[in-house]
Structure formats: C-alpha cells, structure tokens
Amino acid sequence: MAASGEVKLKITTALILAAYLASPAAAWSQDAPIKIYTAPLFSTLHHRDWAGVRENILADAVRAAFLQAQFQSAPGPGADILTLAAPDGVSKDKEDYIFTVVFSRDGTKIGEAVESCPIKKLTDCTDQLVLDIKTAAQ
C-alpha cells in the first residue's frame, strides 16, 4: 500500500510541475498580436540621395524589425488597428536618418515619436521604434 501512495505522490508532483510550466506559455499565447497598418509609413520612409535615387535601406530595416516583432499586418485603418505614418518623410544628415512617426487609431492621432537612426546602427533605431509601437498600442 505504501507503493501506491508513493506512485500517487509522483503523479501529483508531475501534474503540478506540468501545470506550472504550461501556465506562462498559455498566458503568453493569449496575448493578442498588435495589428498595424504600415502603408502610410512605408510610402514616405525612403530617402532620395543627391542624384534623386530612392534608398530603401531604412525601410528594409524597419520591415525586418516588424517581422521579428511579429506584428500583424492589417490591410487598412480601423478601430483595433494602429496606423503608422511619417507625414514629413525622412531627412538624412551625415550619420542619421531622422523622421517622426505618427500613431493613430481609427483616424484619431494618439501620439508620435521622433526617431533618429544612426546609419551605421539601424537596429538601435528599429528596436526603439518597435518599443514605441508597443507603447502606443496600449
């Protein structure tokens, strides 16, 4: 009979451990993805060099960051969709791209962030932009 009690204790311990390990994963998977509409942002997130050639370096870095952040792309604006725009476009000096991102939801502006992106370290900028989007989405 002692063996039966020992087996029950082991099974109970295993079930408690499994529930403990599964709970953070379950809670994380229930987070709704942030839906973003990026067409207004990407339509202006390019810089033209002195000869008028369009550069895509910054836009490509931002796209890669959005994919890594696992934002959900939306086909248009809406009540549950964060719209991103850079209405003033992008300026470039010797070492940085500079632009202002405006965040809106269903046509109403909810905030903005000025991004200064070192050309040699775009990931610093894209990481900050991802954080800004997460903050604006709250």
Chunked mean pLDDT (size 10), the chain, 138 residues? 52 44 43 90 76 76 92 92 94 90 95 93 93 93
Q: Which of 91, 101, 98, 86 is nearest to 49 (CA)?
A: 91
Q: How far apart are CA 59 and CA 51, in angstroms?
A: 19
Return the pLDDT at 13.
45
Cβ atoms of 110 and 136 within 8 Å: the answer is yes
Q: Full-prediction pTM beyond 0.85?
A: no
Cβ atoms of 84 and 133 within 8 Å: the answer is yes
Q: How far apart are CA 130 and CA 125, in angstroms?
A: 9
Q: How far apart are CA 34 and CA 108, in angstroms?
A: 17
Q: Which residues contact 95 (CB under 8 A, 6 or more apart)?
A: 118, 119, 120
